[in-house]
Structure 1
Amino acid sequence: MFHLTCILLVYLLVSFFTLGRPMLNLTLTGQHPDPEAVVQLVHRSVNASIARRQMLDESTCLTGNPIDDCWKCDPDWPNNRRRLADCAIGFGQYAIGGKNGEFYIVTDSTDDDAVNPRPGTLRYGVIQEVPLWIVFPSNMLIKLSQELIFNSYKTLDGRGANVHIVGGGCITLQYISNVIIHNIHIHHCHPSGDANVRSSPTHYGYRTKSDGDGISIFGSKDIWIDHCSLSRCKDGLIDAVMGSTGITISNNYFSHHDEVMLLGHSDSYKPDSGMQVTIAFNHFGEKLVQRMPRCRRGYIHVVNNDFTQWEMYAIGGSGSPTINSQGNRYTAPTNPYAKEVTKRVETGEGEWKDWNWRSEGDIMVNGAFFVASGEGVEVSYEKAFSVEPKSAVLIDQLIMHAGVLGVGGRDNNLGKWDTGPNGGGGTGFDSGPDYTDDMAWSRRLLPPSAAFTFFSILFAMSYFLTCNIPLTILL
């Protein structure tokens, strides 16, 4: 009896310390050892791009936005699409996506089987084990039946097409790395689950009810979300929790939403102390309420964004996160009680006065004000930087093309990547009605039109023939 009791005690102790180990380890895989060095590198990139633009004729492609200038200035970018993987800045700069993989062309917009997806569908591509650069030959409305669970080393590249992802889930990045999501509309996402969903060619499992985030990042690293337009989801537009790090969120357009962005699982989840996120060149647009972002623990660099009003607050947090706000424009709402940019969530001043929240080079409009704390109130800290952030007066230039580019984008004429016989116009999404909340909750799949199917096949075949892409990737 004594022997059995000892065995049980040892088992319980081992189990306790095994479970506790992640809580004690505050260093995450992929965490940069010197976040301030990453911040200065971002400044140098912006400074260099703006300097190049000022030296040359302003009619050139140069915008001063280092990400866009990196790939858009190549006149042959449609045939050099993977160059995008070299253009990230900030903490997500090491996300290579599917750079080292083959192209996968989405030819089927349906998503009616989350366990056995058909080749040619988006779901079939994102679950593969191998790196893939996923492209779209024509405009598409993809209505998800369940969460779209990615595998590592994937790029979702919607440049040149009007691609909308809506419905159940929507995008889930869980315990993976190296994902780039570029030039995609993501909206009207609602909870799904209580169903089996495939996450790899060899595994599917039962998923409980999801929150209905646009993009959910869970225990993942090296993630870059760029030039997407996000709105009208049931929960957050982008959430990053449970030890996620190495993330850049750039050039996106956010609108029509309450709780925009959550960074960090809970105040007590210590691994999120290693979370590092860069939020750069985004436009936080109309009808947003709060959480741009809402931070728990971690190091959050908010640089050169445009905040066009809010209803409650712009940046909030708890659990002592470091928030480094530089070169942003904050435009407060008319509500006299909502002028403050910052909010310490459910925390007394006696606790948050030591949190490191600082504002440098920000422009405050319509009575907006930023309450700094900790090192943020010391002028000497700002003087320590050898590279100053560019003034927020350049915000209009830097966020000029925030959101989706090209067809269906926001005042930006970027041609299709596949110059097919229809001149790159594409058909399908634009020919139908606007997507509504009622459609988001419907289980009815919207079938592609005959023209959409025809041009999808035509573009895919022409791309295979001209670019020597092996057909086996679709088989």
Structure 2
Amino acid sequence: MATINKSYFFLFFFFLSFALVIASDTDGTDQEEVQLDIYWKQRAEEAKKEAMQSFETDPEQVTEEFNSNVGELLMKQNGTRRHLRGNKKYNGPCMATNPMDACWRCDKNWAKNRKRLADCVQGFGKKTTGGKAGPIYVVTDPSDLDLVNPKPGTLRHAVIQKGPLWIIFARNMVIRLQQELLVTSDKTIDGRGANVNIHNGAGITLQFVKNVIITNLHIKKIVPKQGGMIRDSVDHIGRRTKSDGDGISIFGSSNVWIDHVSMENCADGLIDAIMGSTAITISNSHFTHHNDVMLFGASNSYTQDKIMQITVAFNHFGQGLVQRMPRCRHGFFHVVNNDYTHWLMYAIGGSMNPTIISQGNRFIAPPNQGAKEVTKRDHTAEAEWKNWEWRSEGDLMMNGAVFVQSGSGKSKHPAKMDLMPFKPGTYVAKLTKFSGALDCFVGKPC
């Protein structure tokens, strides 16, 4: 009997020990997930604080500042001269046609004074300095082979470094990202002086970060990726879920400037800004061959996007575009001096009471009689959207284009819409003449 009891005791102890080992392994996995949740929760809280600090309580003042600067530049130039579009065929002297470009472009020593660019942003992203306070990092290797321990000299290695960094490129290169590129705070990705293509791979993600400049890149044919273990900072590696295929995804981030990018044909959006992102300027860029161009605010239910404030200025919305230029929810959006030469469904849309100020844009409607309206209120009854502040002032409507206005000018965002005389839509061909990635050569004006 005693022998039997000892045998049962031995078996009981063996299975108990085995169960504890399994429990220990399971607890380790759970602990890793808990730590991961803590890491991203902390990042989200920090990003939220930064976003609230970047929120402009008087957005009208920002739009008026922007308009005044445009007016001052045009007063100095021959405002009646008309220019054909197409910077690629232009061989004349440097001609900076809008205030942001005038700040740096015609300096033949721009390559020695790269960081001057950080002083040139206007609109809601005006406080963005990127990597101005840090050293220059030269990308020499276009590969993206190791996502956990990125190779020094690659773009992925550059964007995860601590502190401010101004990232440039040693030569022309095509970078095929194996998974989304996770950029940390206080970075500038500066493609001037090289032909840099982010092509046929994953896109760029700004998640819970601040103070990022992206300029002079070609971004096209971005596709979804399955995710996996990716290093997102020097001190952290995490498992990422499947990416959507956005060209540039701005998620819970603030103080972002996207300038002089050429973008086309991505699986999802070209540029999406969601989850409380704010203080953003998108300027001087060229968008083509895409369906859902820009999404600002991911869902009707996420009311934190009420703090979203975005300036969209001096861009060319060109061939092969369908809709969402942009599509907005909740926030405040200044769409100013852009050239809309193509759309198939509509140009500017939204839901959930966004304030949209459209000033001095040129809208050339498509031949389709059913797509002449610039605007679209998504799945909302007129009784509701008639109170939204959607204002058009100084816009040039061509080929039957119609902007349906709404609101009274007395909402929470009182869009007073005083027309500035120096920026009507007739000037747009000039203001956006050099949109998209520029051909910049060291030692010459860009």
TM-score normalised by length of structure 1? 0.78
SS at match of 1:144: coil
Q: Deviations over 1:128-183 (max 9, x none)?
A: 11211000121000000000000001101111110000244310000000000000
Quick check: 2:150–2:156 contact (8 Å CA) kept in 1?
Answer: yes
* Counterpart residue identity of residue 42, structure 1: F
Distance 1:146 1:110, change over 3 A: same
Identify the match of residue 296 of structure 2 among 258, 263, 267.
263
SS at match of 1:45: helix
Quick check: 2:331–2:355 contact (8 Å CA) kept in 1?
Answer: yes
CA distance in 1, matches of 2:337, 2:417: 20
Structure number with larger C-alpha Rg? 2
The structural deviation recorded for 1:364 is 0.6
Alignment of 1:273-312 (within 5 A): 273-312=306-345
Percentage of identical aligned residues: 54
2:137 is equivalent to residue 104 of structure 1: yes
Identify the match of residue 205 of structure 1 among 238, 242, 259.
238
The structural deviation recorded for 1:336 is 0.5
2:242 is equivalent to residue 216 of structure 1: no
The structural deviation recorded for 1:418 is 9.9
Quick check: 1:105–1:135 contact (8 Å CA) kept in 2?
Answer: yes
Q: Unpaired runs of 5+ in structure 2?
A: 1-40, 84-91
Quick check: 2:278–2:307 contact (8 Å CA) kept in 1?
Answer: yes
Match of residue 259 from structure 2: 226
* Counterpart residue identity of residue 441, structure 2: G
The structural deviation recorded for 1:64 is 3.4
Match of residue 159 from structure 1: 192
TM-score normalised by length of structure 2? 0.83
Match of residue 24 from structure 2: none
SS at match of 1:337: helix
CA distance in 2, matches of 1:243, 1:382: 21
Distance 1:395 1:387, change over 3 A: closer
CA distance in 2, matches of 1:178, 1:64: 26
SS at match of 1:79: coil
CA distance in 2, matches of 1:338, 1:320: 22
Match of residue 50 from structure 1: 74
Match of residue 365 from structure 2: 332
Alignment of 1:139-158 (within 5 A): 139-158=172-191
2:342 is equivalent to residue 317 of structure 1: no
2:279 is equivalent to residue 246 of structure 1: yes
Q: Unpaired runs of 5+ in structure 1?
A: 1-17, 407-413, 425-475
Q: How many residues align?
A: 390
Quick check: 1:251–1:281 contact (8 Å CA) kept in 2?
Answer: yes
Identify the match of residue 116 of structure 2 among 72, 83, 90.
83
CA distance in 2, matches of 1:281, 1:386: 17
Alignment of 1:422-441 (within 5 A): none
Match of residue 370 from structure 1: 403
* Counterpart residue identity of residue 284, structure 1: F
CA distance in 2, matches of 1:185, 1:265: 25
CA distance in 2, matches of 1:187, 1:294: 20
CA distance in 1, matches of 2:199, 2:282: 20
Match of residue 26 from structure 2: none
Quick check: 2:179–2:227 contact (8 Å CA) kept in 1?
Answer: no
SS at match of 2:370: coil
Higher alpha-carbon deviation: 238-247 or 195-204: 195-204
Distance 1:389 1:263, change over 3 A: farther
Quick check: 1:327–1:389 contact (8 Å CA) kept in 2?
Answer: no
Match of residue 35 from structure 2: none
Distance 1:126 1:232, change over 3 A: same
Match of residue 10 from structure 2: none
* Counterpart residue identity of residue 317, structure 1: G
Quick check: 1:49–1:63 contact (8 Å CA) kept in 2?
Answer: no
* Counterpart residue identity of residue 331, structure 1: I
* Counterpart residue identity of residue 158, structure 1: G
Match of residue 461 from structure 1: none
2:101 is equivalent to residue 68 of structure 1: yes
Quick check: 2:97–2:432 contact (8 Å CA) kept in 1?
Answer: no
* Counterpart residue identity of residue 143, structure 1: R
* Counterpart residue identity of residue 40, structure 1: E
2:183 is equivalent to residue 183 of structure 1: no
Match of residue 171 from structure 1: 204
The structural deviation recorded for 1:387 is 4.1
The structural deviation recorded for 1:314 is 0.3
Quick check: 1:160–1:418 contact (8 Å CA) kept in 2?
Answer: no
2:69 is equivalent to residue 36 of structure 1: no
Quick check: 1:157–1:183 contact (8 Å CA) kept in 2?
Answer: yes
CA distance in 2, matches of 1:341, 1:249: 20
Match of residue 360 from structure 1: 393
